[in-house]
Amino acid sequence: MVITQMSGEECRAFLASASLGRLGCSRDNQPYVVPIYFAYEPDFIYVLSTFGQKTEWMRANPKVCLEVEEIANESQWMSVIAIGRYQELPEPQYTAEREHARTLLGKRYLWWQNALGERQIRVGDHAITPLFFRIHVDSITGLRATEGSAESGKAPEK
């Protein structure tokens, strides 16, 4: 197996084709990671979100990251990490951005919206009213593993 760095262009193309990732945030030196659906276009990651621990933490500390991977098998995979800053998109200031996010999120938006509606009816909890946020992406890195051996695949000499 050979592990190589992905170019910025490859990372962006991968993020644009993906829809499920792991959002990382932290507060008071405690990390917190949750799976989320997202839509990416340079240089923003859009998310439809419940209000809860992650949004409270991201309000307190907007430095966040998103990890996305595709694993064919243990020696063929891609993993991309985007680092950036949380920004909430409330109405009415961000109506156009919310509409844009809805369009980008497409089917995922409808699926998640229905799931939320259903949960809200069952729980009767208005705290789960959804909100939109986006991440301003400051940097992206990616690693790709492919089958085969590197030319320099020998063990390093001591």
The answer to whether residue 114 forms part of the interface with ligand FAD (CB under 6 A) is no
Contact with ligand FAD (CB under 6 A) among 6, 15, 18, 36: 36
Q: Which are the contacts of 79, defined by CB distance < 8 A and separation ≥ 6?
A: 67, 68, 69, 142, 143, 144
- By CB under 6 A, which span of 42-50, 65-73, 96-104, 144-152 interacts with ligand FAD? 42-50
Q: Strands, DSSP E only, in 2-43?
A: 2-5, 20-27, 30-37, 39-41
The answer to whether residue 112 forms part of the interface with ligand FAD (CB under 6 A) is yes
CA distance 131 to 118: 16
| Residue 50 or 79 with smaller CB distance to ligand FAD | 50
- Cis, bond preceding 28 (omega within 30 deg of 0): no
The answer to whether residue 34 forms part of the interface with ligand FAD (CB under 6 A) is yes
Contact with ligand FAD (CB under 6 A) among 15, 40, 45, 54: 54
Query: Residues 84, 65: contact at Cβ < 8 Å?
Result: yes
Binding interface with ligand FAD (CB under 6 A): 20, 34-37, 47-50, 52-54, 112
